């Protein structure tokens, strides 16, 4: 399927690993050029850059000036036509709401929500001038599946999903589409790494990280975690012109974890 992304300039945030790296790789496979923003690089991203169609940019998107710096760097390669707001982070806390200070709330909101707002604000003039563009925001099932262990992350993702829907109403008549993707547990370091959710829960409960992961898998009708590549395929489909009349929508990819929507 030709998604009509040949030579389009895309910006992906949080692009050095996990879902962001998979999205970058998938966009390149569809012929796009990708400005890959991340605070830290990775060997995998550097390898992609050797192909000449990926331009890594080291940037801290948690600070107010970071998103504009990324988009300014992107404009060295042309006007931004596709934006994938993927950057985010989660900290699992098992001591309850009162153990989450303002600093942690602000950290979550800055990186997981406001980074997307600010990057969109910086990139939007290019799309408005061209009369077309696509924005895909990587949200989470936690936007509508609250979990007290990641209460600040849930709130930030809920804001991101709401932002996507509201912005789509303004920008649709101007030729710009805005959608969101809401993965469930994905086989990345966020869930399965040494400091990931499974390991954190296991350490608190005196159990085994693999057993925690297996318990989560047991709640999915497919019986497995989603892969980063599967999320990336959905993101890139929405970014391309084969989905030209899809806007204001949120797409779950959760292996059947959520049963009520």
Query: Would you identify the CATH topology of the domain 9-184+226-253?
Result: Rossmann fold (3.40.50)
Nearest 5°: CA angle at 229, between 225 and 235? 110
Positions annotated as catalytic residues are 153
Intervals of CATH 3.40.50.720 along the chain = 9-184+226-253
Q: pLDDT tens for residues 66-117?
A: 999 999 999 999 999 999 999 999 988 888 999 999 999 999 999 999 999 9
Q: Is the dihedral of CA 64, 70, 75, 78 positive or negative?
A: negative
The 8-class DSSP code of residue 255 comes to T
Dist. CA 194–CA 120, nearest whole Å = 32
pLDDT by 10s per residue, the chain, length 261? 789 999 999 999 999 999 999 999 999 999 999 999 999 989 999 999 999 999 999 999 999 999 999 999 999 999 999 999 999 999 888 889 999 999 999 999 999 999 999 999 999 999 999 999 999 999 999 999 999 999 999 999 999 999 999 999 999 999 999 999 999 999 887 778 777 777 777 777 777 778 877 777 888 899 998 999 999 999 999 999 999 999 999 999 999 998 876
- pTM to 2 decimal places: 0.94
Between β-strands 176-183 and 133-138, what pairing exists: parallel, antiparallel or unpaired? parallel
Dist. CA 124–CA 120, nearest whole Å = 6
């Amino acid at each position: 399927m030709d998604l009509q992304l040949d030579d389009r300039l895309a910006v992906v945030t949080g692009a050095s690993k996990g879902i962001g790296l998979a999205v970058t790789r998938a966009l390149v496979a569809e012929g796009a050029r990708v400005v890959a923003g991340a605070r830290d690089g990775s060997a995998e991203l550097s390898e992609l850059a050797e192909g000449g169609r990926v331009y890594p940019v080291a940037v801290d998107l948690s600070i107010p000036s970071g998103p504009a710096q990324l988009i300014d760097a992107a404009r060295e390669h042309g006007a931004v036509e596709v934006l994938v707001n993927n950057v985010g982070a989660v900290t699992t806390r098992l001591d309850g709401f009162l153990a989450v200070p303002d600093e942690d709330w602000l950290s979550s909101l800055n990186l997981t929500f406001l980074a997307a707002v600010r990057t969109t604000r910086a990139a939007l003039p290019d799309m408005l001038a061209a009369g077309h563009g696509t924005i895909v925001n990587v949200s989470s099932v936690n936007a509508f599946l609250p979990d007290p262990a990641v209460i600040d992350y849930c709130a930030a993702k809920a804001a991101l999903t709401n932002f996507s829907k509201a912005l789509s109403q303004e920008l649709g008549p101007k030729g710009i589409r805005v959608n969101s993707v809401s993965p469930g547990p994905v086989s990345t370091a966020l869930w399965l790494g040494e400091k990931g959710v499974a390991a954190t829960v296991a350490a608190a409960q005196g159990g085994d990280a693999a057993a925690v992961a297996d318990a989560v898998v047991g709640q999915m009708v497919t019986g497995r975690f989603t892969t980063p590549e599967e999320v990336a395929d959905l993101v890139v489909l929405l970014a391309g012109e084969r989905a030209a009349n899809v806007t204001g929508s949120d797409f779950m990819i959760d292996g059947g974890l959520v049963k009520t929507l």
